[in-house]
Structure 1
Amino acid sequence: MISGLPVLRIAFVMLHTSPLDVPGTKDAGGMNVAVRAQAEALADAGHEVRILTRRADPEVPARVETRANLTVVHLDAGPARLLAKGDHEAVMDDFGRALAAELAEHPADLLHAEHWFSGIAALPVARATGIPLVQSYHSIAAPHESPLGDGERAESPGREAGEQRLAREADLLLAVSEAERRTIERRLGGDPERIAVVPLGVDTERFHPCETAECAEQRDWIERGGRPEVIVVGRLHPLKGFDLAVAAISLIAAERRPVLRIVGAPPPDGDDYARALHAAVVDAGMVSTTAFDGALRRTELAERIRQADLMLVPSHTETFGLVALEAAASGVPVIAREVGGLREAVRDGVTGVLLPDGASAEAWADEIEVLLRDRVRLERMGEEARRFALAHGWDRSAEHLLAAYRTLLDRTNCP
């Protein structure tokens, strides 16, 4: 048992996206990866774990046991179809009622809400039942007039007020980085005494350095003058800054230009940005050296990452930057924007390079070229990145999470 804790009945609340969704599709992203990985680690340690999500498909079973001690529960709230992210505010009350009914039949020792939709839906239930409520934000809305670097826009009217309410009323606020902790304190007014930092982890068995014959072939190709490969991974959303990656690569002379691999799909309301990326690639004359892979399952994603020479993470903001850690585990250096939790996910000059927020596409292009030309430095960074990632497994993340749970349960006098 991790940290010597007794068996806990833990209910993760995940209203607007399912842990069964493929990251990079719909509204699935790093949050889906983190919740499922932590839930699996807790279940493997013997705790009884449920992930409660909204039914978005009439054909999906009400309960899906994904492994021993871990069940995904689909609750009926609103139409049983995919909704645009902002539309989930309208179904929060229905989801709360379904959640209350589920807990009446299958009690929990604590509720862990993921994102503000889940927290606001769960808060009345937690108060009515006396179950402590843990809140994770994953991202925090910024005012509409602020730059993208301050965070994503509120996708529905109640988000800013809802996030602030949760900062006041949830029993425990979890941040995934020191950067997010500061945002919770400064923007939302969260009480520092009720905030705990639980770093994310990475599956270092699935994400590992390239050692296969296929990768040996790739290295031989590079040595013979073939094009190296640069990869970006995430939802095709303006916040991820993939347009900067396209612009930077386009500034590299055509004869030296690396292949750009874009992995991810747009959210339900994000087709315009995806079309703009495709158009930018065409306008830059990069069609033959750019691959749009769409969203990939985790095993395929790991294969793509470890075959790349370099990952770019040009996000305007990240609470942590999980893909940067997945690249590190794969022995692939990262060039990232120096914002938010990316300062903690990338060790500047050691596992990759951090470029100042606001750095031009020219600056990104220069850094990409410098790194790709220096294969010795690139390899050394990859080795350091792997060492860094090995200290950040999901089992360690789960230990931090359980310690935070125990502190909360001790404070609230719960078993």
Structure 2
Amino acid sequence: MAPTTPPTAPRVAVLSMHTSPLEQPGTGDAGGMNVYILHTCLELARAGARVDVYTRATRPSQGEVVEYAPNMRIINVVAGPYEGLAKAELPTQLAAFAGGVLAFARREGLAYDVIHSHYWLSGQVGWLLRDLWRVPLVHTAHTLGAVKNQALAEGDRAEPESRRICEQQIADNADSMVVNTEEERAALVDHYDADATRIEVIPPGVDVEMYSPGSDRATERARRELGIPLHADIVLFVGRLQRLKGPQVLLRATAELLRRDPCRPLGTLICGGPSGTGLDRPDEFLDLAAELGLGAHARFLPPRPPGELVSLYRAADVVAVPSHNESFGLVAMEAQAAGTPVVAAKVGGLAVAVADGVTGLLVEGHDPARWADAIGGLLDDDARRLEMAAAAPAHAAGFSWRATAEALLGVYNRAIADRAACGGDCPRHGGGRI
């Protein structure tokens, strides 16, 4: 039975079926969503909420329960084989994952106040658990199939219609949906006919203690450790290696800059691992760099944990985010927190994450020549670039994970109170539309 009064610090079941918040961002299916879940759950736990994050087990060494922090656990649910299950095959394990969550909660005698699902796979499980447990479902999509298909990179593969149908069902049935920006809210309304009154806009945050500007000496040390010449112009890309994220745009822009000035001391760092459609051709961007004749001007690095990633941000003169679609752009925010200007595509939440003309530049489209103009212009204008570098940390400081978590608690408690007010028996809470 639903509680009669909403708890201010509820017990929350967080669903992240397809990827664990403990995985290294930048490879496989791990990215900004992992960072978001990890930090919001930590802040929710610090605020007193009891948080269990359910994710699919991918190796037996993980153990079933990871006590990550006070009030926060990671529950690894066995659903399908540990390895060898492609992301496209995960829908076959929705029932197994839901059954594993139910079994664990029943065995532990757990009664949750609210469910928060992340991504459409988890949303499908959350929809089922919402009606079985008779508690509200809050959903965060992170990306939407219809929006991704509108912004496909050349040669990229479209999201299947089955995903769009599942997303439509979640939009119809979730008690509340959380998005990063007003643009994302509009996309839910336009593409899925979602009820705008049930969509909450809550920007993500950034860890400003981890990502902070370094001194000139710290920048020098970072470059020396990476073997980067101190006088070189360095452009950095951080993210999963797939066409959606646009590393091909940056590589072609680098080639264009070198075509214009072969003697330019330019270096491009690509930090990340193959993901999504990039798994079809894991060496695609290495091959492209060779085809473009970039040689020593392009260097590929494996994904790095935050403690090492901050050194990369500090070592760079500019961070490029040439994505075709971004719900927000956490890499752009981390770079700015570390005091590095950003050149980003004017898509999705990047228009919010980057203060255009103040902490970086927004570029219309993905024409390599236009990107070469923006990056080259900023590298050549030391005064402007340093002015942006100085302004960037203050802009990033306006986005905190604590504020994000506090806003989420408000969403949870309103959803709990709303369900309690009707006893959970009204059409909105009793199963919704199919």
Residue 385 of structure 1 is matched in structure 2 by: 392
How many equivalent residue pairs?
407
CA contact (8 A) 1:175 1:197 kept: yes
Residue 338 of structure 2 is matched in structure 1 by: 330
Task: Establish whether residue 284 from structure 1 lines up as the match of residue 292 from structure 2.
Answer: yes
State the Cα distance separating 1:7 from its structure 2 match: 2.4
Among all aligned residue pairs of Structure 1 and Structure 2, give the percentage whose two residues are the same amino acid: 34
Give a deviation string over 1:236-286, Cα, whole Å, max 9, x none.
011001100000011112311521010110126623454221111112222
Give a deviation string over 1:77-111, Cα, whole Å, max 9, x none.
11122521111111001111112222333221111
Q: Equivalent of 1:165, from 164, 169, 172?
A: 169
Residue 229 of structure 1 is matched in structure 2 by: 234
Structure 2: how far apart are the matches of 1:356 and 1:109? 44
Structure 1: how far apart are the matches of 2:275 and 2:73? 25
Segment of structure 1 superposing worse, 11-20 or 100-109: 100-109
CA contact (8 A) 1:202 1:393 kept: yes
Task: Establish whether residue 126 from structure 1 lines up as the match of residue 130 from structure 2.
Answer: yes
Task: Evaluate the alpha carbon distance shift between residue 44 and residue 385 of structure 1 in structure 2; reply closer, same or farther with a 3 A threshold.
Answer: same
Q: Which amino acid aligns with 2:233?
A: P
Q: TM-score, normalised by structure 1?
A: 0.93
Q: Which amino acid aligns with 2:197?
A: E
- The equivalences for 1:80-91 within 5 A come to 80-91=82-93
Task: Establish whether residue 260 from structure 1 lines up as the match of residue 268 from structure 2.
Answer: yes
Structure 2: how far apart are the matches of 1:62 and 1:274? 31
- The equivalences for 1:2-151 within 5 A come to 6-104=8-106, 105-142=109-146, 146-148=150-152
CA contact (8 A) 2:14 2:53 kept: yes
Task: Evaluate the alpha carbon distance shift between residue 268 and residue 175 of structure 1 in structure 2; reply closer, same or farther with a 3 A threshold.
Answer: closer
CA contact (8 A) 1:202 1:394 kept: yes
Give a deviation string over 1:29-78, Cα, whole Å, max 9, x none.
00000000000111112211111001111221000011111100011111
SS across alignment from 1:148: coil
State the Cα distance separating 1:405 from its structure 2 match: 1.5
Q: TM-score, normalised by structure 2?
A: 0.89
Task: Establish whether residue 182 from structure 1 lines up as the match of residue 186 from structure 2.
Answer: yes
Q: Which amino acid aligns with 2:404?
A: S
Task: Evaluate the alpha carbon distance shift between residue 108 and residue 232 of structure 1 in structure 2; reply closer, same or farther with a 3 A threshold.
Answer: same
Task: Establish whether residue 345 from structure 1 lines up as the match of residue 353 from structure 2.
Answer: yes
Structure 2: how far apart are the matches of 1:149 and 1:262? 18
Structure 1: how far apart are the matches of 2:151 and 2:202? 27
Q: Which amino acid aligns with 1:94?
A: A
Structure 1: how far apart are the matches of 2:223 and 2:279? 36
CA contact (8 A) 1:238 1:273 kept: no
Task: Evaluate the alpha carbon distance shift between residue 29 and residue 225 of structure 1 in structure 2; reply closer, same or farther with a 3 A threshold.
Answer: closer
State the Cα distance separating 1:178 from its structure 2 match: 1.3
Relative contact order, CA 8 A, sep 6+: which one is greater?
Answer: 2
Task: Evaluate the alpha carbon distance shift between residue 201 and residue 146 of structure 1 in structure 2; reply closer, same or farther with a 3 A threshold.
Answer: closer
Residue 407 of structure 1 is matched in structure 2 by: 414
**RMSD between superposed Cα atoms in Å:** 2.3
Structure 2: how far apart are the matches of 1:86 and 1:263? 25
* Ranges in structure 2 where 5+ consecutive residues have no aligned partner: 1-5, 424-434
Q: Which amino acid aligns with 1:158?
A: S
